[in-house]
Amino acid sequence: MSDSAAWAEFALAFGVFLGAHRVPVLPSVRENLTKALGKTGFTVAYSVLSLVLLGWLIEAAAEAPYVSLWEPAVPLVHTTFLLMGFAFLLFGLAIARPNPFSFGGLNNEAFDPARPGIIRWLRHPMLAALALWAFGHLISNGDLAHVILFGSLGVFALLGMKLIDRRKKRVMGAEWDRLLKDIRAQSWNRGFVPFPAFVIRLLFGLGAMGGMLLLHPLLLGVDPLVYFGG
């Protein structure tokens, strides 16, 4: 593939990825898709589509011509590991739990403001995990295509929090303020109860990170653990 074709595919993948995260969440489009697929079906389909397009985008970035901006040092890679650790812990604490403040969420009607969990501190823990993943990989990839990729995804995650807050405030009205006030009134340790579930979620997050480290060479052709060799 020529350099121009590789950059064109990267640009196309980026455009499709961004479009897929914009069009389906437009009120009229989402309403029709939810009617056709159901709430769970829409969430599953949207998640699968996002992962497939993200995979294409990452592959397109890897195929783009290598233009070095900086040479990643080992300490930067170690920092990436630290940020990824926090990202996977957030993922474990947030996955498949009610969250009426953010996009998606499982069975949001069952959200209990007296036991908000990670929502006590972060309304958008999954987007926060995405931002940590993006900026963590940004600092350990010094070529132009990956800087564009991870920098844009990191900004996308941060802006997404603002956009979702604005949309949810408009849709939920006074309920948004009431729920927010209720969870902020809880004691700080409400994120840790019930304790067994908290531990299980932390272990799940760490296990997911371990699984990704093992799969990373197979899926992406890079073994991050080599940076911890002697």
pLDDT digits (tens, 9 = 90+) for 18-49: 888 877 777 777 778 888 888 778 878 888 88
**Which pLDDT does position 15 carry in this prediction?**
92
**Which pLDDT does position 104 carry in this prediction?**
64
Same domain? 102 vs 12: no
Q: How confident is the model at residue 189 (pLDDT cuts 50, 70, 90)?
A: low
Prediction pTM value: 0.87
What distance in Å separates the CA atoms of residue 112 and residue 141, rounded to the nearest whole number? 41
Final residue before a domain boundary, out of 29, 47, 65:
65
Residue 13 has pLDDT above 90, yes or no: yes
Final residue before a domain boundary, out of 65, 100, 117:
65
Contact 24, 54 (CB under 8 A): no
Same domain? 100 vs 194: yes
Same domain? 119 vs 164: yes
Same domain? 61 vs 73: no
Task: Tell me how many domains the chain contains.
Answer: 2
Same domain? 56 vs 153: no
Mean pLDDT of the chain: 87
**Which pLDDT does position 28 carry in this prediction?**
79
Report the pLDDT averaged over residues 169-198: 80
Q: CA dist 224 to 16, 78, 84, 210, 219, Å?
A: 29, 9, 12, 11, 12
Same domain? 116 vs 157: yes
User: Element (H or E) spanning 50, and its range?
Assistant: helix 27-63
From the list 80, 214, 223, 55, the residue with the least C-alpha distance to 141 is: 80
Final residue before a domain boundary, out of 65, 84, 116:
65
**Which pLDDT does position 1 carry in this prediction?**
74
Same domain? 23 vs 84: no
Same domain? 108 vs 196: yes
Same domain? 52 vs 153: no
Same domain? 77 vs 31: no
Residue 11 has pLDDT above 60, yes or no: yes
Residue 213 has pLDDT above 80, yes or no: yes
Residue 193 has pLDDT above 70, yes or no: no
Residue 118 has pLDDT above 60, yes or no: yes
Q: Which domain holds residue 43?
A: 1-65
Same domain? 57 vs 102: no
Q: CA dist 192 to 69, 93, 122, Å?
A: 42, 10, 14
What distance in Å separates the CA atoms of residue 113 and residue 120, rounded to the nearest whole number? 9
Same domain? 17 vs 122: no
Dig out the tokens for 123 from the structure. Answer: 């309304």
Contact 193, 187 (CB under 8 A): no
Q: Which of 86-90, 162-166, 196-200, 224-228 has the lowest mean pLDDT?
A: 224-228
Q: How confident is the model at residue 84 (pLDDT cuts 50, 70, 90)?
A: very high
